Amino acid sequence: MPCLRANVVYVPILTKRWETKVARISRFSLLLLILVWSRHDAWSLAAQAVATAHAPIEHITIGASTAPLNGPWKFHIGDSPVDPATHTLLWAEPDFDDSKWETVDLTPPDGSLDPVYGVSGMVPGWTTRGHAGDWGYGWYRLRVQVTAAAGEKLAIEGPPGVDDGYQIFQNGKLVGSFGGFSSSRPVVYNTQPMRFDLPEPGNPGSPTRVLAFRVWMEPSTPSNYPDVGGLRTAPLLGEAGAVTVNDRVRWFDAFRAIADHLISATMFGLFAFLALSLTIVDRSDRVYLWLGTACLLTAIFDAVVVILDGTQYMGMTVGDPLRFVVLRPLIFVAWAMVWWSWFGLKRLAWLPWAAAGLGLLCAVSIALGRNLLVFMVVPPWISAVFGDVYVVAKLLFLPLMLVCIVQGIRKEGVEGWSVLPAVMLWGIAQFWEELNFLHINLTWFPLGVQITLGDIANLLLVFVIAALLLRRLLRTVRRQRLMELDVKQAQEVQKVILPEPIATLPGLAIASEYRPAREVGGDFFQILPHPSNGSMLIVAGDVAGKGLQAGMLVALLVGAIRTSANFDPDPLAVLKVLNQRLWGRSHAAATCLALRIGADGGAMLANAGHLPPYLNGQPLEIEGSLPLGMIEDAEFSVLQFRFTQGDQLLLMSDGIAEATDLNGNLFGFDRILDLVRNSASAAAIATAAQNFGQEDDISVISIIRTAA
């Protein structure tokens, strides 16, 4: 075969004057200067190939520089047989006859640029060279003769573009690897810069080096990207220091290429923290929870990309299923739920179920369509079918979200219109892989930093969400202020309708304590003297629940008590009127007792599930009954007794007995008995329960019979 000639590249020796200047800069800057100087001076690099019995030999003269090993290489699909005696790979041996193998030239066409990684000098892989659909192992071999200065150490830099992992052999001996090859299925990582030192040839008299690359490609790779397979850029051979400099430059470029994902992960992570924090401000609004979830999943997705592209902590067999099978479908579902809850589309009850179904379909179809299952490899025809199913399922998410946006436009107007462009751009960006197969480039590299349509869509989405979130937060704060005003007004109303804490009436000394668990309580009582016969009607009760809703029921019941007492002050009649007021109302129930004390000391008590009063330290024996509002024609227990001079009657709500300390112990009835037997006042009983650990509203009424 004719000799192959190549240029020879030299690097000038630095003079003492230059060394003095360069000594002031860092070691890394010095190495960069060497690399730039060597390329600027354009010293020639020579490679001469001579015909041999097996394959051409490439002659390279090395100064302090590097030379691309463009080949031509010998290539063979599949894996090497193993020598049964030495257990070595035969295709790595220097004397193996590879003359019948295919020839592959890694010389890139002018202006070639990989649209996925932004790496220049990319060539199509083996899937475009008659091996479409083939995955697994492939071998590349090249014979090289290197002329270098005595004692100069050589190194080789792994190819910037390779699918997906590889081992490097020199003269049959393993030099290094990118990925783990100890198991039957190698563990590979996203392509990263790698540098390997080359040992001296075993035979100094024969300086020929046989370099062999054993490449492994994952079964999922042909489904992810076009033109894949094996070595897609040439490795670099050169002086060890120059290779080190180039390796550092490549790492810098690699980090610039993943800068967009790092920024996106940080940005969405902050938004997730903000949105989830807002759930504390407004627990009733579920949109903050969905928004926080969507942003958190997006941040995790980008963080996984950074880990995959910048480290070797996670292999593609774990990272790709995590990204595409788990995170991406969940992100689709979460964003659909964000807009469903944002615009309050409760009438579209089918939409969450449709989103969940599409998310599950996406996960299954992408796992089968891209061969992301670790335990099995899907046949190509099945993979192609599920690949189409995945595209359709992903495509259906866009109209699903557009339904939410259209309904949002009808309800909110400006908010819906502001969201529409961001959602449309975001939806188009989700088809980045499919458009890339059609050679529609949606990735740009200004100043070496990778920017995709997805980055632009995410940035627009973040700005839209930030503006809408601020608007929504201001509306929430305004609504909460109005609610606080309503609560304060309810407090004022409750203060008006409850009697004074201390009242002195003919023949009775009455003291009361009322301590609500919240701003508005659910306990109530009324003390109503009869204007003509000198009797006293006392009604006390406890509405189920707490807060403003309970306070509104209290107002309803107090009004009913005053109205019914004017017509018939009989305790049983009062309870029946109150029961009718609560019957049929949703979640409306209350315990209540009505007590009438005559001028002569005769007393009548009617009870509806309330705690019985304590007379002179002992609870009154009265039959139990259901609370108000449970049954339309309820029967209530009635008790008649004498209330003589010097007697003390204590009425209290269950908030006393249900007070709980930090260890979960109840205040209980035994402590109540100890207090009432010691003639404790209403204030003392309420304070004891409150200090023990108040859980519910507390109300206590003390009635003492005095001389008329």
Q: DSSP letter for 666, please.
A: B
Omega before residue 72 within 30° of 0, cis: yes
pLDDT exceeds 50 at position 498: yes
Helix (H) or strand (E) run with residue 33 in it: helix 27-40
pLDDT confidence of residue 272: 92
C-alpha–C-alpha distance, residues 147 and 170, integer Å: 16
Domain 499-705 is in which class?
alpha beta
d(CA 158, CA 155): 10
d(CA 263, CA 433): 21
Span(s) in the chain for CATH 2.60.120.260: 16-255
- Among left, alpha and beta (phi > 0; psi -120 to 50; other), residue 653 is beta
Judge whether residue 529 has pLDDT over 70: yes
Query: Which tokens belong to 379?
Result: 């046949």
* Interacting residues of 126 by C-beta distance below 8 A, sequence separation 6+: 75, 77, 134, 138, 229, 230
Cα pseudo-dihedral 682, 687, 690, 693, rounded to 10: -120
Q: What is the helix, strand, coil percentage profile of the chain, to 5?
A: 45, 20, 35
The CA-based angle 432-435-441, given to 5 degrees, is 85
What pLDDT does residue 196 have? 94
Does the structure show a pLDDT above 80 at 447? no
* pLDDT of 118 strictly over 60: no
How do residues 592-648 score in pLDDT, each as one tens digit?
A: 999 999 888 899 999 999 999 999 888 898 888 889 988 888 889 999 999 988 899
Whether the Cβ atoms of residue 534 and residue 599 lie closer than 8 Å to each other: yes
Res 197: pLDDT: 92
Percentage of residues in the chain having pLDDT higher than 90: 30
Mean pLDDT confidence for 349-378: 87
ω into 97 cis (within 30 of 0): no
Report the alpha-carbon distance of residue 650 to residue 643 in Å, rounded: 12
Residue 303, both tokens:
């963080």
Q: What are the DSSP calls for 151-178, one per residue?
A: T--EEEE--SSEESEEEEEETTEEEEEE
CATH number given to 258-475: 1.20.1070
In this predicted structure, which of 123-137, 274-288, 571-585 has the lowest mean pLDDT?
Answer: 274-288
Q: How far apart are CA 252 and CA 447, in angstroms?
A: 12
- The C-alpha atoms of residue 407 and residue 420 are separated, in whole angstroms, by 11
Q: What is the mean pLDDT of residues 14-31?
A: 32
Q: What is the pLDDT of residue 34?
A: 33
Give mean pLDDT, residues 25-40: 34
> CA-CA distance, 173 to 74, in Å (whole number)?
18
β-pair partners for 60 = 146
Task: Count the helices and strands in the chain (H runs, E runs).
Answer: 17, 27
Parts of the chain belonging to CATH 1.20.1070: 258-475
In single-letter form, the type of residue at position 472 comes to R
Closest among 464, 488, 374 to 414, alpha carbons compared? 464
Helices 259-281 and 240-257 meet at what angle, rounded to 10?
40
User: Is 33's pLDDT higher than 80?
Assistant: no
Q: Mean pLDDT, to the nearest integer, of 91-105? A: 93
| Residues contacting residue 251 through CB under 8 Å, at least 6 positions apart | 193
Mean pLDDT on 492-501: 60
pLDDT band at 323 (very low <50, low <70, confident <90, very high): very high
Q: What is the pLDDT of residue 531?
A: 77
Q: Identify the CATH homologous superfamily for domain 16-255.
A: Galactose-binding domain-like (2.60.120.260)
Give pLDDT, residue 222.
83
Q: Indicate where the chain has its CATH 3.60.40.10 domain(s).
A: 499-705
| Residue 177 CA to its chain's centroid (Å) | 35
Q: Tell me the C-alpha distance between 135 and 215, whole Å.
A: 10
State whether residue 277 is helix, strand or coil.
helix
**The pLDDT of residue 173:** 92
Q: Which of 398-407, 475-484, 616-625 has the lowest mean pLDDT?
A: 475-484
Mean pLDDT over each residue of the chain, to the nearest integer = 81
Largest Cα–Cα distance of the chain, in whole Å? 134
Instruction: Indicate the pairing of strand 590-597 with strand 154-157.
Output: unpaired
CB-CB contact of 225 with 320 (8 Å): no
